[in-house]
Structure 1
Amino acid sequence: MQTLRLSRVSKTYSNGVKALDDVSIEIEPGMFGLLGPNGAGKSTLMRTIATLQEPDQGELTLGDINIREDKMALRKVLGYLPQEFGVYPKLSAEKLLHYFAQLKGVESKKDRQKIVDFALEITNLSDVRKKSVAGYSGGMKQRFGIAQLLLNDPHLIIVDEPTAGLDPAERHRFLNVLRDIGTNHIVILSTHIVDDVKELCTDMAILNGGKLLNHHKPTDAIENLKGKIWNKVIDKDALEYHVNEFNVISRNYNQDHSLNIRVRSDMKPADGFNVIEPELSDVYFVSLKEDEVHNSNA
């Protein structure tokens, strides 16, 4: 099984924005979640791995492929689904997949049919194979995007913000498709939605401001916060006081307009706080808060 290795990858745009800042990581086969807020550098990193843009410095390899020196070798084993992946002509899913398979060098009609049938089946599109892709719903188009990238049996699959804009049912179906293909490939899921990573991924990293903040298995990251996440219900008028006094990492409103605040602390912060079981969202917010504090002290 191949490993994707990135070493000291950096990218600064002409406007001075440092999109990637010395990123080093190893990603093994399976579902890998790349979490970060909008503007964190996730799409830049995905496009760099996919050879769509050059980093300023750093090394990238997939197994024995040097990605910067042999882009075509990487592209032959890559499946990439960007945030926006084009407008399709008014052709059926089946016809379009045959066309894409031909472009990828599958000459035999019999072989193409076998590959197309497999791609439609695994993405749950067999029943609508004769329907025009232009008339598909958002979730169906995303699943079709997965179907077309499976045609060359890729070793590395990159999906960038795939569930943004999907309704809950479509999101659930799409995540099930990714789960099915994630066992035999490196699948990188780039997202700002914590629940996508929680449901799917066995490994994850958090990116913010172009920097890799941490890299853990989700279960280990959650375990590291046991006994350190505290909850308190407060009136909204008391929020400013609590933000100033305690390490508040997140808050949400209750139906009575009171607030639940979650605080990261090694010991009980004060009376009225109760220790609670940490969640993956706590890992995410703690990482962002620690990065914010670090930057403000720098």
Structure 2
Amino acid sequence: MKLTINNLTKTYKNGVKAIDNLNIEIGTGMFGLLGPNGAGKSSLMRTIATLQSPDSGSIFFNDINVLEDKMALRKVLGYLPQSFGVYPKMSAEKLLDYFATLKGVKSKEDRKKLIDEVLEITNLYEVRKKSVSGYSGGMKQRFGIAQLLLNNPKLIIVDEPTAGLDPAERHRFLNILREVGTNCTVIFSTHIVEDVKELCNEMAILNGGRILKHTTPMDATNELEGQIWTKTIERSELDGIEANYNLLSSNYNQDNSLNVRVYSAEQPSDDFITTDPQLDDVYFIALKEDQIETV
């Protein structure tokens, strides 16, 4: 399975260029689309999902010309947007039965079998009689996965799915995504670096509607081996570090000192020590370099 996007462009009426001549190929498995808020992630997801049309470019999923045959894609698409809106006061079981009917599953027996299966996968079977409107945020996200699995999708798009989830619900949700993403193409859009690190075998960093980097989490961090340096400083030293070095991040210690991480091909000074690169470093470097280029 392969999603191919060529020269995709989308500019809104207010002049914002949300997608800027974007080119990428995405294969089977979990693909992380990482970028800050406003980077164009949701615009790209909505365009792939046929919810809006681009100004130019092409999108193919296998042999489906997505922009010319939207219905063909929708038959194999599962889409989980950032926000669901308001649910009716119906149980998960009844609401899934309604969605399955809409998706063309005519037999009541077939619907029951399918619904039980997706409820088991998403760990919602025990609460299937409860109203979805009363579910927690994490349970609603898992219900979203349940409903998109009803048509056995080959392409799954999830947009910022872990935003606002507590750590336990986030962990449950990522485990479910990992399970369903083994035999199809899953595009996982997020601004949370840790989600991509835990989940995805391939990734891209997006900003300003452009792909800044297309790689794997492992390759991305390996590229920075020997180039990330750290030291502990006092808070009063931070401005000087920022002015003199390529500062990536800083974190407080319990005594209110700071650990700083700096990007440099060589040891910045004798008091810096080398440290293992992290995916956060890759992300911050890509965004900083893009900011310099666009100034």
TM-score normalized with structure 2 length? 0.98
Q: CA deviation at 1:246?
A: 0.7
- Tell me the alpha carbon deviations over residues 59-85 of structure 1, each in whole angstroms, 9 at most, x when there is no partner: 100000001100111111110000011
Q: CA deviation at 1:185?
A: 1.2
The equivalent residue for 2:178 is: 179
The equivalent residue for 2:63 is: 64
- Tell me the alpha carbon deviations over residues 95-142 of structure 1, each in whole angstroms, 9 at most, x when there is no partner: 111110000000011111111111101000011111111111110000
Q: What's the Cα RMSD here? A: 0.8
Matches within 5 A, 1:41-52: 41-52=40-51
DSSP-derived class of the 2:259 partner:
strand
Matches within 5 A, 1:221-240: 221-240=220-239
Q: Residues of 2 paired with 1:162 and 1:69: CA distance?
A: 28
Q: Residues of 2 paired with 1:250 and 1:17: CA distance?
A: 29
Segments of 4+ in structure 1 off by > 6 A? none
The equivalent residue for 1:5 is: 4
Are 2:130 and 1:153 equivalent residues in the alignment?
Answer: no
Matches within 5 A, 1:258-297: 258-296=257-295
Percent identity of equivalent pairs: 67
Q: How many residues align?
A: 295
Q: Which runs of 5+ in 1 are unaligned?
A: none
- Tell me the alpha carbon deviations over residues 183-213 of structure 1, each in whole angstroms, 9 at most, x when there is no partner: 0111111000011111100000000111110
The equivalent residue for 2:107 is: 108
The one-letter code of the counterpart of 1:222 is T
- Tell me the alpha carbon deviations over residues 141-182 of structure 1, each in whole angstroms, 9 at most, x when there is no partner: 000000000000011000100011111111111111101101
The equivalent residue for 2:97 is: 98
The equivalent residue for 2:20 is: 21
The equivalent residue for 1:193 is: 192
Q: Residues of 1 paired with 2:219 and 2:113: CA distance?
A: 41
Q: Residues of 1 paired with 2:229 and 2:9: CA distance?
A: 37
Q: CA deviation at 1:295?
A: 1.6
DSSP-derived class of the 1:215 partner:
strand
The equivalent residue for 1:39 is: 38
Q: Residues of 1 paired with 2:9 and 2:52: CA distance?
A: 12
The one-letter code of the counterpart of 2:190 is T
The equivalent residue for 2:243 is: 244
DSSP-derived class of the 1:83 partner:
coil
Q: Residues of 2 paired with 1:57 and 1:255: CA distance?
A: 52
Of 231-240 and 174-183, more deviation after overlay is shown by: 231-240
TM-score normalized with structure 1 length? 0.97
The one-letter code of the counterpart of 1:93 is A
The equivalent residue for 1:144 is: 143
Q: Which runs of 5+ in 2 are unaligned?
A: none
Q: CA deviation at 1:86?
A: 2.3
Q: Residues of 1 paired with 2:56 and 2:241: CA distance?
A: 43
Of 251-260 and 204-213, more deviation after overlay is shown by: 251-260
